[in-house]
């Protein structure tokens, strides 16, 4: 008897096969702007489906290792990574995945929408980057922080060009050293201290508990400047050179040795993100450069970085969901059950259709956050800044949760094969689970949303967008318009309740529910806006999203019928 071997087709080209991505770019960039981005996107997509997919598998199969000592007993703390990881690093630089929004040429072509193009690059690059998307996010955050006018131009000039280089030989990435063992969310408990040196540099001492991309050339570390007092607001961001080559304190160490005062205790053995070196790092009078005046409360400056990494997190979630869908659809076309292809089973189609609705929602939410970020950076648009204040945490928290739920479904859609390591499918679930944890858990972000509403009056810009979307939806679908208007009214009342008594137990206990409701309603509004521009896929997605997430209805029958359009 012959042995059955399941053929497994490769999924579509992630750019050519993603109608929503292309129509989103057409709308956000205009036809000429999209045309100007096409070659860049097609080149990256071609590399993703070829060498980068292989590099991704290699990096996953060969996780980083820490070599603590050289053969003669000298402490070297070297992190060895795989060729696949290195290929991902080089590709990120070559394709300007970090650099694009900082390049004069890109700002000249797309203006504020250079961030929209970058989001498209991330959408293609992230899912099979072996989570090199993490150092990409942190490098972008560090570049945004270094771009602030408060930062010493000499520091900026020395480091920013390296972070945004498109030459793999000179490009660097950054880590960010914030979390300490006694407190990740609760930064007020940070105990790393900074003291000034005579030459204007600083020395940092402390223990950092979660340092991803620990092989990067630099890190942004939070420390409490000497005499700064308690609390989190006074914490200041510092640039720490990771290697001896960049540390003026080095006295003859090899250039790739750790900078004096920087010790890599160990690498974390993590559930996922296995190719990504995440370390525990000790600092003992390590050389550091202040990013802004350490005497002025620095957490606000550090938030520039955090906003960037949060929107990258949303992009990673949305990109991963879209790639999971592509893999599941390809598999369903080849797998046979009950006498036919899985792809024609109404039940399986409905399952994939609902996932496609979620992928569309996550995509527009992440896309909107990037569009706002671009408008803040280019042109300092105050309306965009006000909206981004609440959209960044909302986008991160909602997409993070969707990504985990979707990844579980994608694993299940492969049956037993989805549970087998070398199919590459289990990784979807493992890697998704970091998304709601890193850079603010769901609850921590929900509390941040409350702060945005009560301290920075972030509710009105959001409510205005929701009101406008209800009006836009009316000619297309009165039912959708009524749902949006009804939920917006409910949210208006809840936000008033928050403003009236922000510390009440009911408000704090309800923060997660409120934040998710806000994010889901915003997503419906964004899909409506895209539908009103003329996108048929977004129109169906908007209707099904609103029924699924705002009215909590079962959308199986419509998702089954609409599957092709939704993909
Ligand atoms: C793979 C990975 C990579 C990471 N990389 C980095 C990195 O590069 N740099 C870095 O600085 N950090 C990094 N982190 C750390 C991450 O940012 C923290 O783990 C995260 O912020 C949570 O902090 P914590 O671990 O101290 O958990 P805690 O803050 O102790 O949270 C525990 C639980 O308490 C809840 N909670 C916390 N505060 C509140 C509150 N006020 N109200 C209600 N509930 C609350 C949380 O939601 C969570 O469920 C990484 C984490 C992971 C998993």
* Consecutive 10-residue averages of pLDDT for the chain (567 residues): 88 95 98 98 96 96 96 94 98 98 97 98 97 98 98 98 98 97 89 96 98 98 94 96 97 93 97 97 98 95 97 98 96 93 96 98 98 95 95 98 98 96 93 96 97 94 97 95 98 96 96 98 98 96 98 95 92
Three-state SS sequence of 123-144 = HHHHHHCCCCHHHHHHHHHHHH
How far apart are the CA of 392 and the centre of ligand 1, in A?
17
Nearest to 127 by CA among 267, 279, 326: 326
How far apart are the CA of 374 and the centre of ligand 1, in A?
28
Q: How many CB atoms lie within 10 A of CB 44?
A: 24
Q: Supply the pLDDT for residue 285.
A: 98
How far apart are the CA of 403 and the centre of ligand 1, in A?
18
Pocket test for ligand 1, best of 139, 179, 281 (most atoms within 8 A of CB): 179
Longest dimension (CA), the chain: 81
Pocket test for ligand 1, best of 210, 306, 434, 502 (most atoms within 8 A of CB): 210
Q: Specify the residue with its C-alpha closest to ligand 1, atom 40.
A: 444
Q: How many CB atoms lie within 10 A of CB 363?
A: 30
From CA 175, how far away is CA 432, in angstroms rounded? 20
Q: How many CB atoms lie within 10 A of CB 517?
A: 18
Q: Specify the residue with its C-alpha closest to ligand 1, atom 31.
A: 185
Ligand 1 atom having least distance to the Cα of 441: 47
How far apart are the CA of 330 and the centre of ligand 1, in A?
36
Give CA separation, 439 vs 54, 142, 177, 447, 513, in Å.
29, 14, 11, 13, 19
Q: Specify the residue with its C-alpha closest to ligand 1, atom 25.
A: 184
Q: Supply the pLDDT for residue 541.
A: 98
Taking each continuous run of H as one helix and of E as one strand, the counts in the chain are 18, 11
Backbone angles phi, psi at 280, to 5 degrees: -100, 130
pTM of the entire structure?
0.98
Residues in the ligand 1 pocket, defined by CB under 6 Å: 175-179, 183-186, 210-212, 270, 273, 278, 434, 437-439, 441, 443-444, 447
How far apart are the CA of 440 and the centre of ligand 1, in A?
6
- Write out the two tokens for 318: 């949305």
How far apart are the CA of 179 and the centre of ligand 1, in A?
7
How far apart are the CA of 180 and the centre of ligand 1, in A?
9
Ligand 1 atom having least distance to the Cα of 276: 1
Ligand 1 atom having least distance to the Cα of 212: 8
Ligand 1 atom having least distance to the Cα of 270: 1
From CA 545, how far away is CA 543, in angstroms rounded? 6
From CA 110, how far away is CA 112, in angstroms rounded? 6
Buried b (16+ CB within 10 A) or exposed e, 101-131: bbeeebbebbbbbbbbbbbbbbbbbbbbbbb
Ligand 1 atom having least distance to the Cα of 186: 29
Residue with the two structure tokens 């525990």: 280
Ligand 1 atom having least distance to the Cα of 175: 8
Q: How many CB atoms lie within 10 A of CB 494?
A: 18
> Quick check: 81 and 213 in contact, CB under 8 A?
no
How far apart are the CA of 436 and the centre of ligand 1, in A?
9
Instruction: Tell whether the torsion through CA atoms of 493, 494, 498 and 504 is positive or negative.
Output: positive
How far apart are the CA of 192 and the centre of ligand 1, in A?
17
């Amino acid at each position: 008897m012959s042995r059955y071997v399941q053929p497994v087709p490769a999924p579509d080209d992630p750019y050519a096969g993603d109608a929503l991505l292309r129509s989103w770019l057409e709308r956000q960039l205009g036809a000429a702007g999209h045309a100007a981005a096409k070659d860049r996107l097609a080149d990256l997509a071609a590399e993703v489906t070829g060498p980068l997919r292989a590099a991704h598998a290699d990096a996953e199969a060969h996780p980083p290792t820490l070599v603590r000592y050289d053969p003669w007993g000298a402490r070297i703390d070297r992190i060895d990574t795989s060729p696949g990881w290195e290929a991902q690093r080089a590709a990120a630089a070559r394709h300007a995945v970090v650099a694009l929004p900082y390049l004069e040429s890109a700002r000249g072509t797309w203006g504020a929408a250079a961030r929209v193009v970058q989001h498209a690059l991330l959408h293609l690059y992230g899912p099979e980057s072996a989570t090199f998307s993490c150092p990409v996010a942190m490098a972008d955050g560090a570049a945004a922080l270094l771009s602030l006018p408060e930062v010493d131009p000499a520091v900026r000039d020395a480091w920013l060009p390296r972070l945004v280089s498109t030459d793999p030989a000179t490009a660097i990435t950054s880590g960010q050293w914030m979390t300490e063992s006694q407190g990740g969310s609760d930064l007020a408990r940070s105990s790393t201290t900074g003291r000034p040196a005579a030459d204007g540099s600083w020395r940092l001492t402390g223990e950092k508990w979660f340092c991803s991309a620990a092989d990067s050339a630099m890190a942004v570390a939070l420390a409490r400047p000497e005499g700064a007092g308690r609390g989190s607001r006074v914490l200041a961001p510092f640039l720490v050179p990771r290697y001896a080559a960049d540390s003026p304190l080095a006295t003859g160490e090899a250039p790739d040795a750790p900078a004096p005062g920087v010790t890599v205790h160990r690498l974390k053995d993590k559930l996922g993100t296995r190719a990504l070196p995440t370390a525990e790092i000790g600092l003992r009078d390590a050389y550091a450069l202040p990013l802004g005046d350490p005497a002025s409360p620095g957490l606000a400056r550090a938030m520039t970085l955090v906003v960037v990494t949060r929107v990258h997190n949303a992009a990673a979630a949305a990109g991963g969901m879209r790639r999971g869908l592509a893999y599941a659809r390809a598999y369903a076309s080849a797998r046979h059950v009950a006498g036919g292809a899985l792809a024609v089973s109404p039940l399986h189609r409905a399952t994939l259709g609902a996932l496609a609705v979620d992928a569309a929602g996550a995509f527009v939410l992440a896309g909107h956050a990037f569009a706002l970020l671009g408008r803040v950076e280019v042109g300092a648009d105050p309306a965009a800044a006000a909206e981004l204040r609440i959209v960044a945490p909302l986008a991160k928290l909602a997409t993070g949760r969707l990504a985990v739920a979707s990844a579980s479904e994608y694993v299940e859609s492969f049956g037993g094969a989805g549970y087998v390591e070398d199919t590459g499918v289990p990784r979807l679930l493992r890697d998704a689970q970091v998304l709601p944890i890193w850079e603010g858990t769901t609850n921590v972000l929900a509390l941040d949303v409350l702060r945005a509403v009560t301290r920075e009056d972030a509710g009105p810009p959001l409510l205005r967008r929701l009101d406008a979307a209800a009006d836009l939806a009316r000619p297309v679908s009165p039912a959708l318009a009524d749902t949006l208007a009804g939920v917006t009214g409910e949210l208006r009342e809840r936000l008033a309740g928050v403003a009236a008594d922000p510390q009440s137990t009911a408000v704090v206990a309800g923060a997660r529910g409120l934040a998710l409701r806000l994010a889901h309603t915003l997503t419906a509004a964004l899909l409506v806006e895209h539908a009103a521009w003329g996108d048929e896929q977004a129109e169906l997605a908007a209707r099904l999203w609103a029924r699924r997430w705002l009215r909590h209805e079962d959308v199986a029958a419509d998702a089954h019928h609409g599957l092709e359009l939704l993909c």
